[in-house]
Amino acid sequence: MKKNIVLFVLFVLPIVAYLFFASGVNSFTTLPVITPKVADFGNWNSLNGKKISLDKKITVLGFSGTNILENRGNYFNLNEKIYKRYNGFEDLQFVVLCPTGTEKEAQKIVDALSPFTDVKNWNFVFASKEEIQKFYDGLHLKEKLKENLGTSNVYIIDKERNLRGRKDPKEYKEGYDTFHPSELSNEMLDDFKIILYEYRAALKKNHNATKQL
């Protein structure tokens, strides 16, 4: 009897524990909506000439401000911790909204990332300062943009254009600070996995599972 118990503890219990954690805590939760149905982008130019829209895409959205190069370390943090891990998903895009006139600086960021990253899902989009402020105001966030129209935070917007985050007052989070790699590796990565799980589950439920997610 004791031998069977020892065998159970040594072999069976670790397997059960592995299966539990492999299934992921994410399968038991969802990520709340902070702001529903945010506005789509206007007819704004992108660095690569593509028309960028929030519709039917999971979007990681940032605001560069006018001093893009001064904050280039933030983009490298985001690239290493999140982008490189998930950039193969066709339904995912990373979008940085920049003031018109900063195109050359944005191109330098892309050029710096491209030697070691497939930058196809990095999108820099340009709008006037007034348009950027109006769009940001429409997100109804607690944090305000800096005077240069930038923030180190990035935001997760789902395919239905809902801005997602954490609403619990004890851990409220509407954005994720790219200045801190640990926040990207922990809070943002956890929340991002929830979003992906939601869509994987929906695809399986509708028998439309694809490699896109």
The pLDDT, as a whole number, for residue 23 is 41
In tens, the pLDDT along 6-61 reads 444 455 445 544 433 444 443 347 899 999 999 999 999 999 899 999 999 999 99
Query: What pLDDT is recorded for position 1?
Result: 54
Tell me the average pLDDT across 131-144: 96
- Give this prediction's pTM: 0.83
| Contact (Cβ atoms closer than 8 angstroms) between residue 184 and residue 190 | no
- 146-170: per-residue pLDDT in tens? 999 999 999 999 999 999 999 999 9
Which domains does the chain possess?
A: 33-212 (3.40.30.10)
d(CA 82, CA 73): 14
- Tell me the mean pLDDT in the region 101-122: 96
- The distance from CA 79 to its chain's CA centroid, rounded to whole angstroms, is 11
- Residue 11 sits at φ, ψ, to 5 deg, of -115, -50
The pLDDT tens digits of the residues spanning 83-104 come to: 999 988 889 999 999 999 999 9
Model confidence at 179: pLDDT above 90: yes
Distant-in-sequence contacts of 3-8, Cβ < 8 A, 24+ apart: none
Task: Determine which of 26-35, 130-139, 203-212 has the lowest per-residue pLDDT on average.
Answer: 203-212
